[in-house]
């Protein structure tokens, strides 16, 4: 049974593809939410994070405040590396446990994990297939400005800071090009889900 990783750059359309897949009945895990859970006081990264970055990263309720981590690692590659070295392997372990638990409970469909940082975090070994969503820079800038109010320069800076689509492609088993309409994307997602269901049983 297949475990599929869904990735892509900012504004490429990953979350939209996830949403369409979920509508088709796909079990979808959001890696971002997994990241959130491991920062909780009862989560596996909590103490190590405090040891590495101090108690200033805590919100009044004692949880790690992700907004406070930004300024600490921003512009400090060594700190970012330390953060990722704590968090990424724990997220990987947690996602693997989640997939195993879903299988143990009888889930037989392909399981999809949406993870923007899949390749950067070296999570490829968790997946049988990696699906990459891409869109042209112009489309991304236009959509992200329209829907999130981000300025084109901001979006361009984010794109520059991320892995390039060329680098991502080297890891992808399937590429979804999202330069058309939402309905075109929906149709394409329907096709690739059907394909995944077929390969899942093969």
The binding site for ligand ADP (CB under 6 A) comprises 8, 10-16, 143-144, 147, 178, 180-182, 185
The smaller minimum CB distance to ligand ADP, of residues 8 and 110, is found at: 8
Q: Is 28 helix (H, G, I), strand (E, B) or coil?
A: strand
* Nearest to ligand ADP of 103, 148 (CB atom): 148
* Cβ-proximal residues to 179 (8 Å cutoff; 6+ apart), any chain: 135, 136, 139
Query: Closest approach of Cβ 15 to ligand ADP, in Å?
Result: 3
State the nearest-atom distance from the C-beta of 181 to ligand ADP, in Å.
6
Q: Smaller CB distance to ligand ADP: residue 11 or 35?
A: 11
Shortest distance (Å) from residue 201 CB to ligand ADP: 28
For residue 181, give the 3-state DSSP assignment. coil
Residues 180 and 58: their CA atoms lie apart, in Å, by: 43
Interatomic CA distance for residues 174 and 153, integer angstroms = 30
- Residue closer to ligand ADP by CB (options 85, 187) is 187
Residues 6+ apart with CB under 8 A from 107: 27
The distance of closest approach from Cβ of residue 158 to ligand ADP in the complex, given in angstroms and rounded to an integer, is: 10
């Amino acid at each position: 049974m297949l475990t599929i990783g869904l990735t892509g750059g900012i504004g490429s359309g990953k979350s939209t593809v996830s949403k369409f897949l979920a509508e088709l009945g796909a079990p979808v895990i959001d890696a971002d939410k997994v990241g959130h859970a491991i920062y909780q006081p009862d989560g596996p990264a909590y103490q190590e994070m405090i040891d590495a970055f101090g108690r200033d990263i805590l919100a009044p309720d004692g949880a790690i405040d992700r907004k406070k981590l930004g300024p600490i690692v921003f512009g400090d590659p060594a700190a970012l590396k330390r953060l990722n070295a704590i968090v990424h392997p724990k997220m990987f372990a947690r996602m693997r446990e989640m997939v195993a638990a879903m299988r143990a409970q009888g889930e037989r469909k392909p399981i999809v994990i949406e993870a923007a940082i899949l390749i950067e975090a070296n999570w490829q070994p968790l997946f049988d297939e990696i699906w990459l969503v891409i869109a042209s820079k112009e489309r991304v800038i236009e959509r992200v400005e329209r829907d999130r109010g981000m300025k084109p320069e901001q979006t361009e800076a984010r794109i520059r800071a991320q892995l390039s689509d060329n680098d991502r492609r080297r890891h992808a088993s399937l590429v979804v090009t999202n330069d058309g309409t939402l309905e075109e994307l929906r149709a394409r997602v329907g096709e690739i889900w059907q394909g995944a269901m077929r390969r899942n049983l093969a």
